[in-house]
Amino acid sequence: MEENKFIREIIDFDFKGLGMTKVDGLPVFLDGGVIGDQVEFLITKKKKNFCKGKILNTVKKSKDRVNSPCPYFKDCGGCDFLNYSDNMELKWKEEDVNKNLEKIAGLDIKVDEVLDSPEKTHYRNNMQFQVRDGVIGLYGKNSKDIVAIKNCLMQRDKANEVLQIMWRYKKLKDLKRIGIRTNYKGEVLLILVTRDGEVEIKDVLPDLIDAGVKSIYLNYNGGDKFHYSREFEKIYGEDTIEEKLLDINYKISPESFFQINRLATEKLYQKAIEYLEPRAEDKIYDLYCGVGSISLSVAKNGAQVIGIEIVDRAVDDARINAENNNINARFVKGAAEEVIEKLWEEEKISPNKIIVDPPRKGLDEKLVNFLKENPVERLVYISCNPATQARDLKSLKEVYRVEKVALVNLFPNTAQVETVVLMSRK
């Protein structure tokens, strides 16, 4: 056997869902496979603390391997676990969260409860498809190559209908990206991304309307760092579409953050509210509040709630959502770490409970320090990245007791997961 060629069993996944084994004690991250597979592979890159490898063939298949229902799965980078059993996927996610709690946060606590998604496919209400040389698709596994996609198992049927119509669009080469947002009623908000200039859509507009498209926006984005720039222009229909969570209606604009899996999100928010235990006399801050989806669910119980969000349009939507649902809540624009200090010190509004739901990078260090210097009765931390959450918990545990951890399978068939942590002041 060649010097860089090995046969080993895959023993774990990395945070991207790639298979992992070991050679001479060093982890080797492979370009596929599932836990339990015995594979022959070639080491393609050696680093000081790890290696990367390419699987040449599967010597013996894992007992937990299943046949993928998706014809694109082998090449498409959108999903990680369509060839791995649902039960084992959930078990791995729980073990991975526990590992982060122990090794990163230094906590002697494990996941208390695992809440699975009611839907494993067709659950996504928001997807972005790349367009290159007249081809619509998703990035390939570990590459920027485009895999042509005409029907995605993860998004709603209405979204797939719109996707197929866009394949017939005569000026597809003018586009850079297509965003498709759907709601519980099957309505669609379509985002067409172009580097510059206008886009003419007369040839497909009647079909799009018949498919349930209620709103179409152009987005001018010359860069590649983000899906969208801030330059949105409505070219057809309504300003927003409406979504519903826990019997509250929300207006969704093209740039607004909203969880991609509605039914699993209801489980997530119910658990977060259970941990928070809101009472009428409470003063609660909801940091990184988005369009107010948690804020309004909490304020519905009578608590005084202030939501803080840095995206201007999301705050505008949150205020409209509060008014439309006749719920009393206040929303403030700005960075959480700056606004909370201003409200606390200048307006003398000191909450007794706080809920945070930051982006994948976790909490700003300045905010962590503020929460430690001004501890509250209850702190509920929602995260889509257990590793950065564990990093923050390592610091916060100096002042807070970590009481409970729940896992919600918000992103089935991927390596991503959502967690909710309850902390109380020591």
Task: Kindly list the catalytic residues.
Answer: 384
Neighbours of 327 (CB within 10 A): 19
Q: What span, in angstroms and rounded, lies between the C-alpha atoms of 44 and 21?
A: 14
Question: Concatenated DSSP letters for 336-392?
Answer: HHHHHHHHHHTS----SEEEE---TT---HHHHHHHHHS--SEEEEEES-HHHHHHH
End-to-end CA distance of the chain: 58
Distant-in-sequence contacts of 98-103, Cβ < 8 A, 24+ apart: 100/386, 100/387, 100/389, 100/390, 101/386, 101/390, 101/393, 101/405, 103/390
Q: How far apart are CA 355 and CA 278, in angstroms?
A: 11
Residue whose tokens read 């969000």 = 309
Q: Whole-angstrom Cα distance, residue 177 to residue 145?
A: 14
Residue with tokens 């230094």: 106
Q: How far is it, in rounded angstroms, from Cα 246 to Cα 223?
A: 37
Q: How far apart are CA 359 and CA 362, in angstroms?
A: 6
For residue 226, give Cα distances in angstroms to 128, 219, 229: 11, 12, 7
As annotated, the binding site includes 259, 288, 309, 357
User: What's the residue count for the chain?
Assistant: 426
User: Minimal CA–CA distance to 291: which of 268, 319, 269, 270?
Assistant: 319
Say if residues 379 and 370 touch (Cβ distance below 8 Å): no
Q: Per the annotation, where are the binding residues for S-adenosyl-L-methionine?
A: 259, 288, 309, 357
Of 38, 35, 5, 36, the C-alpha closest to 23 is 5
Are 273 and 300 within 8 A, CB to CB?
Answer: no
- How many Cα atoms are found within 13 Å in the side-chain-facing hemisphere of 34? 24
